Structure 1
């Protein structure tokens, strides 16, 4: 009962301070594909370069479903991120801030089997681009605004089985759902015309995905352990129900107002299928139980199959993506009674990612340094993470994003499923 009260309190706290609505990103790169992909692991994993090679008896590993059967207690996890980003091109810069909810998940063991279910964002769209250009055909100057918002979320349920003490296998089923809106607005500014046009494209997205995983652990000697991880997600397709309307708008001082919302002209557009690319990951690490670990993981995504939701943007294509993470943790003395700081988990990592997006022949890359602390609260804990990174470039008239992410996760553990013994 105490744990349930804590869970309700934490959900209420996160929901009131974090966003899980239409404003989960401000990146201009979210215009492409299905939007900006969101990290799908817990904050402790994120603080170690995003490597998902470990299983923990008290902590969920959402990157590999094979870890669920390694739990010894019921675990509830929730996490959120405050992101501070400076976006710049060759001539100007802009600062933005977003606070978002990253995941809510529950995992529990039943004998050799483990189960987990939860909800997390899968991708997010939140961009606004403006351009002014001259039309030589009619001698006018036009202002073009492109903006988009929305997200795709994933609710999942997974299970895993301990084949033996060293090897476990897991499977996860996910259901994706969400809505993404793209607006294309155009005004004539010279000569000044008070009204313009807006094309509103809406995609209602839904579909199923699959994820499988293996975890293998063995002792190298009396102290050292070897942990390896294997994950695979086959390609799947999401259905996108598309609608498009053309309306007249007026441009006010602070916002754009639709003039003929009731009489907008509907444009016939076909429903489409969005391909989620297949993904393969492998990682390995070495360490001493409850003391330290260092490991690495590589994830390969066949993102060259991706396309845009409406049309094909000029000078933009997709290539296969690769993500490499290196990280680990250190605990001075996990069972220390005299020093709380000796029981803290200290984490660090580095990650490199070729995102798979190519604009004007420039591959968009993402680099990040991560640090974190695991603050123990009995068998529960608070995870704090700090991430410094850079995505994109100012070359070829593109945008560079320099960001700092403050990540917080809460993990509560308790024994819910335990057989009673009768004397």
Structure 2
């Protein structure tokens, strides 16, 4: 009977991931729920802005927040980079720190017809990330001392193809087709000492996602003439909407233990759907004297509507995110030295995240800083840093200090030139 105790072990542990005697590592424990942490900024420039930019009309960057913004692209552009993420996690008795390096995505944009604002952009980028590891040493009157480990990895990514088009009055619209894919794996292991007669047990559950969606965007033309202030040289408003998506999800559950030299394995395969709610974003951008840029952004996503196999989560609520960013970039017609080509950025954000536990909402506040340095004509290397605080130690929850460094390479080339005849 002892040798088979692993079958019921996890049903009698009474385990809470926020209990004060846990050793946490690997990442944010909050990512254990749903599809994990959401990714808002995918380049260093966006991160330095406070992870915003819905109303930016860029010719020298690819803005995947709003596909309408592609319309001013004047060169073929390639963007790629990496992120270094660090979390200092603490509760009432424990402090840990971890860091990891991630690929931040890839974007490729081609201007097709500049007169009509038609540009094509293709990209691959993360949508969410799960990364946590929790270890607890415990004992019980029913079993020998044991160590329990909970671990999660993976996340959702999307591959997208987007087009923009310019309407009269310099109003731009755009849309992108998105293919969601990814895998999230949760592991639960119970390990006994080598002298114990109890057997180690291993439980895995994999979620495999594949689905499609779209994002629609709108960007106004320059409305600065309506303000009547000469110092304001550009004023725009932007809007983006991503539809709710029902993503077909395969689930695979396995459990195993070793008895003598043989391994007992059980396997279960299932199929369902993961409902990702719609996302709405609105923003504004304001430029002074062609050198100072201010952006304001707001995101809303009703994660209370999130469902897996038609069941909602008690740990999810609606997300609201506010950010403000500032950039100084000298008018490109007036510089001639290296330092005159360096642009500097900063930002602030406040996010009411999708997480809620025991009546406590998990909120996040962050500050940002970054800059871009030229590495050739129309080519830059961008740097950004974020420091944020999320969560609380009340009610045995966790407080997290977030450290994030982002590096992006941004290349622009004249690949296609149309000759007028």
TM-score by length of 1: 0.84
Seen in structure 2, the aligned counterparts of structure 1 residues 332 and 259 have a Cα distance that, compared at 3 Å, is farther
The secondary structure found in structure 1 opposite 2:168 is coil
Task: State the partner residue of 2:47.
Answer: 46
Q: Is the 8 A contact 1:32 1:308 kept in 2?
A: no
Measured in 2, the distance between the counterparts of 1:276 and 1:390 equals 26
In structure 2, stretches of 5+ residues that fail to align are: 1-25
Aligned residue for 2:218?
Answer: 214
Q: Is the alpha carbon distance of 1:40 and 1:346 closer, same or farther for their aligned partners in structure 2, counting shifts above 3 Å?
A: closer
Q: Residue 93 and residue 193 in structure 1: after superposition, are their counterparts in 2 closer, same or farther (change >3 A)?
A: farther
Which residue of 75, 81, 84 corresponds with 1:82? 84
SS in 1 for 2:340: coil
1:4-403 alignment runs, 5 A limit: 26-52=27-53, 53-111=55-113, 112=116, 113-133=118-138, 135=140, 138=142, 141-187=145-191, 192-193=196-197, 195-221=199-225, 222-224=230-232, 225-248=234-257, 263-267=264-268, 270-288=270-288, 290-307=290-307, 316-376=314-374, 377-403=376-402
Cα distance in 2, alignment partners of residues 135 and 333 from structure 1: 69
Specify the SS of the correspondent of 1:66. helix
Tell me the matched-pair count: 386
Secondary structure of 2:221's counterpart equals strand
Q: Deviations over 1:367-419 (max 9, x none)?
A: 11011112123211111111111122212111222122111111111122321
Deviation, 1:217, is 2.5
Q: What SS is found at the alignment partner of 2:70?
A: helix
Cα distance, 1:161 vs. partner?
Answer: 0.5
Q: CA deviation at 1:288?
A: 3.1
Unaligned ranges ≥5, structure 1:
1-24, 251-257
Q: Which is worse superposed, 229-238 or 25-34? A: 25-34
Separation of aligned partners in 2, 1:193 and 1:183: 23
